[in-house]
Amino acid sequence: MISFDWAMKRLLRNKANFEVLEGFLSELLRRNIIIKYIGESEGDKTDKEDKSNKVDILVEADDKELVIIELQYYGQDDFFKRILYGVSKAITDHIFKGDPYSNVRKVYSISIVNFDLGSGNDYIYHGYTNFKGFHTHDELRLSEKDRQLYSKTYAGDLYPEYYIIKVTKFNEVAKNTLDEWVFYLKTGKIRDDFTAKGMEKAREILAYENLTDEEKREHDRMIDDRRNRDSEINTAFSDGEIKGLQTAAINAHKAGYSIDAISAITGLTPEQITEILKRNGLM
């Protein structure tokens, strides 16, 4: 199977292939998603010089709700703020001057990250807004008029929702149909027994042998670029270019900080921190 990021760049934008993304989104958002349109994005890059392999596409569902899908291979200090900016831009780009605020779109942000973003042990995180009573602790509902207007129940339902999928945390045990998609995102493989929505179409169009010769060359080039990037990072690590971070990690460990806390402070992955501590006889 080909990688998901390359598929999003080249294959999944084709209307004939919408079924694949519809399946993934339906499993994640737990409702039937029908894609009306897939838009281009400033973040979409296919050039071989794009070492980060950052992909984001903007999906408009048939209910006019928007979905941003972004895939990121390497850590970035301000990634959480970048997610927020992407959602804000999607909202403002899809309302015209003079439009009523009722035209503001609901946005879902889905970040698929191949590094340990933040500090947490789960592999899927969901963030949303809810309004709780300060004294009564009940959740603020929409009025009957607003429920009919927006087809939502709670005030928070109108606000953006965020999903972060940390594929490196997934243990490759598919316990449900959503896990089947996460398994593919991590391994690039689709097992014969997978039944998740969209998987049958994915098996057909994501098979490497079904690509044209030109597509195979482009896909292989992207994989080679990623391997070169990984090699550059590993070389920088061994050559001492992050010696300051190593020192910071050691000092934080001696001060009693956990590996997750050190990761949040330094930006190093838990695996890198563990290696640093082992090299220095601290583990």
Residue 48: pLDDT band with limits 50, 70, 90? very low
CA 145 to chain centre: 35
Does one domain contain both 220 and 191? Answer: no
Does one domain contain both 67 and 92? Answer: yes
Work out the mean pLDDT of the chain and round it to a whole number. 88
Q: Bigger pLDDT: 50 or 135? A: 135
Does one domain contain both 159 and 263? Answer: no
Does one domain contain both 148 and 22? Answer: yes
Number of domains in the chain: 2
Per-residue confidence (pLDDT) for residue 135, from 0 to 100? 97
**What number is the average pLDDT over the span 149-161?**
96
**What number is the average pLDDT over the span 94-118?**
93
Strand 55-61 relative to strand 107-113, pairing? unpaired
Residue 37: pLDDT band with limits 50, 70, 90? very high
Question: Where a domain ends, among 150, 178, 210?
Answer: 210
What gap in Å lies between CA 110 and CA 281, rounded to an integer? 39
Does one domain contain both 118 and 225? Answer: no
Domain that holds residue 258: 213-279
Does one domain contain both 175 and 222? Answer: no
Residue 275: pLDDT band with limits 50, 70, 90? confident
Does one domain contain both 30 and 57? Answer: yes
Question: Where a domain ends, among 210, 239, 259?
Answer: 210
Does one domain contain both 204 and 258? Answer: no
Q: Bigger pLDDT: 174 or 265? A: 174
Does one domain contain both 33 and 168? Answer: yes
Question: Where a domain ends, among 210, 233, 262?
Answer: 210
Does one domain contain both 132 and 204? Answer: yes
Answer whether residue 238 shows pLDDT above 70. no
Does one domain contain both 199 and 272? Answer: no
Answer whether residue 51 shows pLDDT above 50. no
Question: Could you count the other beta carbons within 10 Å of the beta carbon of residue 145?
Answer: 8
Q: Which residues contact 179 (CB under 8 A, 6 or more apart)?
A: 170, 173
pTM above 0.75, yes or no: yes
Per-residue confidence (pLDDT) for residue 43, from 0 to 100? 45
Per-residue confidence (pLDDT) for residue 45, from 0 to 100? 46
Give first-to-last CA distance, the chain, whole Å.
Answer: 38
What gap in Å lies between CA 8 and CA 216, rounded to an integer? 15
Does one domain contain both 114 and 199? Answer: yes
